[in-house]
Amino acid sequence: MKTALITGASRGIGLEFCRQYAAEGWRVLACSRHPEKSEALAKLAAQYPELIETHALDVADHAQIEHLAQVLEGESPAPAYIDLLINNAGICPDSDKRGFGHTDYAEWTRAFRINTMAPLKMAETFATQIARSKQKTIVTITSKMGSIADNGGGGSYLYRTSKTAVNMVVKSLAIDLKPSGITAVVFHPGWVKTDMGGPNALISAEQSVSGIRQVISRLTLADSGKFFGYDGQVIPW
């Protein structure tokens, strides 16, 4: 049985990843800050009681990340392994809407801690468990708004920079983890109808995740470090 560890699993894209992987018989480690407060996640976990495990995890808290790794390592006599880590948890700061001249620098720091630092900390903490698996894959959800080449609108300084930075994090991971056989990539999920994407978005979470999963299933080590769209198209940095 393959194992996926998914952050930001209580709603939206993260919840849909849990749904689709559990439906295919994967063991799913569904992580969110307050899983007990997510009715949707609880309902899904009840539907797949032998496959979905919920774990409280605030990715901004490095001690919590380390504790989860220790918990998983001590679960059974066999060494813990994770085939697929999906760094999905992220924020889009409201203060970005106020534009140039109104930057909330404290919120910028928080955006970097969650959107940029957390994916690296997750990779550092779980690299050994990922390297033990068969699939050996790290996926980080980013955004085209982090693409320098695609920026034709300006603004959104906090969100854009945190996503541009995490793209570089994953590019470096692809190089540093290659000797361990680990593939690390970033995905733009599309403009998705979630709480973050809003009701005017173009695609559903189901469409986005289905597309990303198809690409993940075809990844090889030669793809490590690439920036993909949910439809498999390579996106310029």
Alpha-carbon distance 152 to 225, whole Å? 24
Q: Which are the contacts of 77, defined by CB distance < 8 A and separation ≥ 6?
A: none
Q: Which CATH number fits domain 3-229: 3.30.70.270, 3.40.50.720, 3.90.1150.10, 3.90.190.20?
A: 3.40.50.720
The mean pLDDT of 57-68, rounded to a whole number, is 98
pTM comes to: 0.95
Please report the pLDDT score of residue 77 as a whole number.
Answer: 67
Model confidence over 24-44: pLDDT tens digits?
999 999 999 999 999 999 999
What is the average pLDDT score of the chain? 95
- Burial class from Cβ neighbours inside 10 Å (0-12, 13-18, 19+) for residue 163 reads buried
Token pair listed for 141: 């959800």
Model confidence over 132-147: pLDDT tens digits?
999 999 999 999 999 9
What residue ranges do the domains of the chain occupy? 3-229
Q: Is the pLDDT of residue 120 over 90?
A: yes
